[in-house]
Amino acid sequence: MSTDPVLGEGYTLERIDLGSDDEGPLLASLVHREPAPRDLPGGPGTPPLLLMHGWSDYVFDRDLMDHLGRRGHDVWGLDLRKYGRSLLPGQTPTEIDHLSRYDTEIGAALRRIGHERPPVVLAHSTGGLTAALYALRHPGRVRGLALNSPWIEMHLGPGARALLEAPVRLLAEMLGQRPILPQGSDHYARTTHRALGGDYEYDLSLKPPGGHRFPATTLNAVLDGQRRLAAAGPLAAPVLVMHSAHSRLTPRFDERMLHADSVLDVRSLAAAARRLGPRVRIVPIAGARHDVFLSAPAVRARAIAVLDDWLATDLLAAPTMPGAGRTAGDGAPAPEDQAEGGSR
């Protein structure tokens, strides 16, 4: 364990060995915020928090993590295999063949945090889909889900996803780890990164403008995960879903993207969120970007206030239901899909 080179002093980095696949060794990266003198004491109702990033992304928001730590939360962050701190030379960035593979590193992170105190998972975009599926497969392992613009449904909804599933599956079988889509536009980076016109600093080699090239296997895994989530029963854990009030999805950049989600269709996202379970709070945030915490400072402050309020009210009011509320169904992977540490 060492000081995290991304977040700096006060944060430790631990590598999680995941075995290997056909591209070589696999690892995940777990960061932990050390307690600071100004932190409020965490009471028995104050859960740990585990941050998870989105696609072509990594955990880097130290200001948010420090804010949550000062409020008494024990704060952790996880870079999944082939992302951010965990991406090794020769690996295809973001490549995965089934989202259940990530159960290995999420499970290892939860063991490190301590099974006696299940955390709230604060997850963004594709990480929100991965976290929701993990919670379905492992009831009681997480205290709640705080989802930041989760990619839980395809643009234009279930019908569009259903049309894509078969051809994308076929292409994934043909192309494997090779890209299925060209590199995207830099519109979102222009709204967020300070050097490109936004408000925040992050490593453009780890979170590149336009994203990494999208592997065919990864897109197939996302579509499969969305199908499984839509077909599954309700989540046992309480859920917060935050997203922008509007999308702005156009081929040419315009200034309205500074105040909208320029990545996902928020109407499809919100419709899917309403089906997650009986204890879901959905909050559209006017002026928010795709990552609501990378919005303009005043909008970011509103998003943080929503999160703080949910952690202090809805989450604490929800009954704890370890191991309850669900039997295996279509939301869980078939036995042959279950991840092993050395699988891709």
What SS3 class is residue 30? strand
Integer Cα distance of 309 and 252 in angstroms: 37
pLDDT one-digit tens code per residue, 246-281? 999 999 999 999 999 999 999 999 999 999 999 999
pLDDT exceeds 60 at position 333: no
Confidence of residue 331 (pLDDT cuts 50, 70, 90): very low
* Tens digit of each residue's pLDDT (9 = 90 or more) over 141-175: 999 999 999 999 999 899 999 999 999 999 999 99
Q: Tell me the DSSP string of 220-242.
A: HHHHHHHHHHHHS---SS-EEEE
* Nearest-angstrom CA–CA distance, 100 and 334: 10
Check: CB of residue 32 under 8 Å from CB of residue 2: no
Q: Which DSSP helix (H) or strand (E) runs through 180?
A: strand 179-181
Q: What is the pLDDT of residue 301?
A: 98
Q: Does 285 or 185 have the greater pLDDT score?
A: 285
Residue type at 191 in one-letter notation: T
Q: In which region does residue 293 sit, left (phi positive, over 0), alpha (psi from -120 to 50) or beta (all else)?
A: alpha
Q: What is the dihedral of CA 133, 139, 140, 144, to 10 degrees?
A: 40
Q: Please tell me the predicted confidence (pLDDT) of residue 324.
A: 37
How many CA atoms are closer than 13 Å to the CA of 262, on its beta-carbon side? Answer: 24
pLDDT score at 150: 98
More confident residue, 323 or 282: 282
**Phi, then psi, of 123 in degrees rounded to 5:** -130, 145
The band of 319, judged by pLDDT with boundaries at 50, 70 and 90, is low
Distance CA 314, CA 221 (A): 32
Average confidence score pLDDT of the chain: 91
User: What is the average pLDDT across 9-20?
Assistant: 98
What average pLDDT does range 115-119 have in this prediction?
93
Domains of the chain: 2-318 (3.40.50.1820)
**Over pLDDT 70: what percentage of the chain?**
92
**According to the model, what pLDDT value does residue 316 have?**
79
CA 274/CA 277 separation, integer angstroms? 7
pLDDT at 49: 98
Q: CA Rg, the chain, in Å?
A: 19
The whole-angstrom separation of Cα 252 and Cα 271 is: 27
- Of the pLDDT bands very low, low, confident and very high (cuts 50, 70, 90), residue 182 is confident
Cα separation, 80 vs 95, whole angstroms? 11
Question: What is the reported pLDDT for 42?
Answer: 82
pLDDT of 327 over the 90 cut: no
Residue 59 has pLDDT above 60, yes or no: yes
Residue 320: band (very low, low, confident or very high) from pLDDT cuts 50, 70, 90:
low
